[in-house]
A and B are shown apart, each in its own frame.
Chain A
Amino acid sequence: GAGVSQSPRYKVAKRGQDVALRCDPISGHVSLFWYQQALGQGPEFLTYFQNEAQLDKSGLPSDRFFAERPEGSVSTLKIQRTQQEDSAVYLCASSLALSQNTEAFFGQGTRLTVV
């Protein structure tokens, strides 16, 4: 497809369940980002990949959060033992270049609800 694709669009998980969120970036985009957006707030950075290398994971809120991008394309954000506070929209973004001053293209997000 032409844009960043995320799946599933909606996920309801029972507290304690593990979830996996998928992101298909735009083909050829080197950089990939995950953000968490709580209701009524702006996106908050979780982690960043340059190709397959995870260069920054300083935004991951706990060790229950894990992200990977093994072949430098598709990325998966995994949340183990989900908690209610994990309920949010998880946004993936990709950008083409390594240089500064490039825009990021966002997917439509996965809305996670932990019950």
Chain B
Amino acid sequence: SQQGEEDPQALSIQEGENATMNCSYKTSINNLQWYRQNSGRGLVHLILIRSNEREKHSGRLRVTLDTSKKSSSLLITASRAADTASYFCATDTGRRALTFGSGTRLQVQP
């Protein structure tokens, strides 16, 4: 079973716009991670936010974490066509393996 649920399931935006994806999870976590997956490829790690952190930035990415609401958001600013991919949140609950959500499919129109 999957711990996280991403929202929305699919998102289509124009190049230059911002994209926001949300993730909700069910149990306590050590950290939450976001991954990107291009069609037919493996997952690429984007960013990790620890349970005691509230916000983290990496380039055009901004991640927030609200442990009281068991939710996280990923913001991609000034999106590019190359950002088109599926984005997954994954939680580390202390059992070593990550538990993934069902993903948001982002389409950035040039």
Footprint of B on A, CB under 8 Å?
4, 31, 33, 35, 40-45, 48, 50, 55-56, 59, 91, 93, 100-101, 103-109, 111
Contacts and interface: CB of A to CB of B under 8 A. Distances in A.
B62 interface: no
Interface in B24-83: 30-31, 33, 35, 40-45, 48, 50
Nearest to A105: B45
B96 A31 contact: yes
Given A101-B50, A108-B41, A42 B2 contact: yes
B9 to A, nearest CB: 9
A100 B41 CA distance: 26
27 contacts: A4-B42, A31-B96, A33-B96, A35-B100, A41-B2, A42-B88, A42-B100, A42-B101, A43-B43, A43-B100, A44-B100, A48-B96, A55-B96, A56-B95, A56-B97, A59-B97, A93-B43, A100-B31, A100-B92, A101-B30, A101-B31, A101-B48, A103-B33, A106-B42, A106-B43, A108-B42, A111-B40
Contacts of A35: 100
Give the interface size bracket for B toward A: 20 to 34
A26 B85 CA distance: 24
B106 to A, nearest CB: 14
Contacts, number: 64
Interface string B1-17: 01010000000000000
Contact of A106 (B44, B101, B103): B44
Given A42-B2, A48-B97, A109-B42, 4 more contacts: A31-B96, A42-B4, A42-B103, A104-B45
B94 interface: yes
A59 B45 CA distance: 22
9 tightest Cβ-Cβ pairs between the two chains A and B: A42-B100, A106-B42, A103-B45, A108-B42, A106-B43, A45-B97, A100-B30, A43-B100, A42-B102
Contacts of B42: 4, 91, 106-109
